[in-house]
Structure 1
Amino acid sequence: MEESEAVVRSKFIGPLSKGLRATASLYDGIESSFEDARTQRSFAVFLVFIFAFSLVLIESNRQGLLPEELRGRISTNHFGAVALAFTLLLIFEVLSLVFALARSVADSIGKQFELLSLVLLRKAFFEVSHFGEPVDWKTAAPAVPVVIADMAGALLIFAATSFYYRLQRHRRITSDEADQAGFVAAKKAVALLLLGAFILLGAREMLLIWLSAPDRGAQRFFEIFYTVLIFSDVLLVLIALCYSTRYPVVFRNSGFAAATVMMRLALTAPRYINVLLGLGAVLFSIALTLAYNSYMAKLAERQ
């Protein structure tokens, strides 16, 4: 790096990094609380309670024991409790995705793959929840191909994501310690913005669940949040340019943003095509990682 460029970077990035320290400290406190084993266990207990309570409510509705104003809002199909539990689990996974962003851009993309695979499983459960009880083959048969496609797609994405994680090398984008710390602090600031978006969308989700169909509200939540992820990925590409303008780094980060666009399309694509788009996003990211690792290895050999 030329001395003049270093002076410019010190002049503009240095103060910015100092301004991000308070934000990074706030992020660290929130992440520590979220990652605490007691928090994780408490949420698991909460899921069990919600699942059991939902089953009780559904059965009460089937028996006509609920007040009139609640009967239209509570399902009469026990599989609805499974769908609700999966929705809450997915919302928890969205939080995990937000905190993964600050650790590694590549890992945050992997978290998006995990989330997409769970979304496909959730769709399969929602298809099942539309069957009558007891489940009858004649009524279920038309939806079986869709359920199989969603389940198979989720399984393939799950397997491909495992391979994707094994390929990651987690190289620093800069050798300068101060710049690297500034980049991490900037990612934490973006993660906090995502957390704010999560809270706002979550409040909107709860309102939609009360005023409209629960499954529609939840689906819109994931669609909108993936749209927000597209903008956050582009923002990270631009932030990374402040610390490294190397072509392979810029291309990889831009490619990850493109993969997020594909996943966003998968959420609203027609049946079967959504699975192909989701799997295509994972395979594209795997190919991108392989090319990036090869490129960086050759650059290291030249040096």
Structure 2
Amino acid sequence: MIGFFRRVVAVYDSLEHFWEHKRTERAAANLLIAVFLGSLALIELARQGWLPETVAALLPKSHFYAISVAFSMLLGIEVFGLVFSLANSVSVSVGKQFEILSLILLRHSFKEFIYFNEPLVWEQASKPVLHILSNAGGGLLIFFLLGVYYRLQRHRVITQTAIATAEFIASKKIVSLLLLLIVSCIGVLQGYYFLSGQAAYDFFSIFYTVLVFSDVLLVLISLRYSSSYPILFRNSGFAVATVVIRLALTAPPYINVLLGVGAMVFAIGITVAYNRFEKTAQPSAGTAECPLSN
């Protein structure tokens, strides 16, 4: 079992090192730029009738769609960052979930533009502009509340020995690798459906559905190392916040913002209650603080 954990940790550490390397970050940024400019060029070529009909049929007619494509890819990159954060800290991974939610709300604002003709006229924008302001305002509010959430975090160990800590971290890395595999498969299938002209599903809705199950799994795994009530309640509460985020992704305008902001306030409330509950707790003798613990 120890050998298995070591191999999993080695694979995970290699992937995480590759993903967080500066060269990878620059390559991802360059890819986003190329996709954005390429989308603009292809849309214009299709509008001018300079592409084969089979290809032009797959392309939208609005230039604003290029913004949606680039933003969707940016969110996909952020999803991989969230997957890797699962092994580091439960609280940090929850924060990453809300970061992605705030960006999704901003993407919803941009998506309203794809239904407009060019050039923009106020008669068309008068109603969608309320949706744009709602989504953008919700994203801004979550962005602000995230600063409060991160400042409240107090990382504490939940294991009693160094060996148990290493096993707990390795277990979370196994979950992260499984989630990474699932996310990759979902992305490949969505790309296939798009290229074949079939109806594509909402990638982020499915991702957050899978994330709910992974969060519950992490709660159950943590019970192997600590059955402390405040830790159990906090981690279970964070899983509930993920469920609310999932509901926000498919809710109608205005309701989605209320659910997203409500989930953020709920996560802050859990953190405040957890800190007060544990404010007198001290690390066990011989046990060092570990930022990877919870």
2:189 pairs with 181, 200, 204, which one?
A: 204
Root-mean-square deviation over aligned CA pairs: 1.5
> For residues 18-62 of structure 1, what are the alpha-carbon distances to aligned partners after superposition, in whole Å with 9 as ceiling and x for unaligned?
532211111000000000000000010111011111111111111
1:191 is the counterpart of 2:176: yes
CA separation of 1:108/1:75 partners in 2, compared to 1, >3 Å: closer, same or farther?
Answer: same
Number of aligned pairs? 284
Cα deviation for residue 162 of structure 1 reads 1.6
What stretches of structure 2 of length at least 5 have no aligned partner? Answer: 286-294
The equivalent of 1:4 in structure 2 is none
> For residues 95-117 of structure 1, what are the alpha-carbon distances to aligned partners after superposition, in whole Å with 9 as ceiling and x for unaligned?
00000111111100000000001
The equivalent of 1:90 in structure 2 is 75
RCO comparison, higher one (Cα < 8 Å, 6+): 2
Write the mapping of 1:11-160 to structure 2, written as runs, cut at 5 A. 15=1, 18-160=3-145
Cα deviation for residue 204 of structure 1 reads 1.1
For 1:118 and 1:173, how far apart are their aligned partners in 2?
32
For 1:212 and 1:243, how far apart are their aligned partners in 2?
48
For residue 109 of structure 2, give the secondary structure of its aligned residue in structure 1: helix
The equivalent of 1:257 in structure 2 is 239
What stretches of structure 1 of length at least 5 have no aligned partner? Answer: 1-14
1:267 pairs with 236, 249, 261, which one?
A: 249
Write the mapping of 1:163-178 to structure 2, written as runs, cut at 5 A. 163-178=148-163
For 1:156 and 1:129, how far apart are their aligned partners in 2?
25
For residue 65 of structure 1, give the secondary structure of its aligned residue in structure 2: coil
Cα deviation for residue 128 of structure 1 reads 1.1
For 1:258 and 1:90, how far apart are their aligned partners in 2?
22
> For residues 79-108 of structure 1, what are the alpha-carbon distances to aligned partners after superposition, in whole Å with 9 as ceiling and x for unaligned?
111000000000000000000111111100
For 1:133 and 1:75, how far apart are their aligned partners in 2?
13
- Normalised to the residue count of structure 1, the TM-score between the two structures is 0.91
1:294 pairs with 264, 276, 285, which one?
A: 276
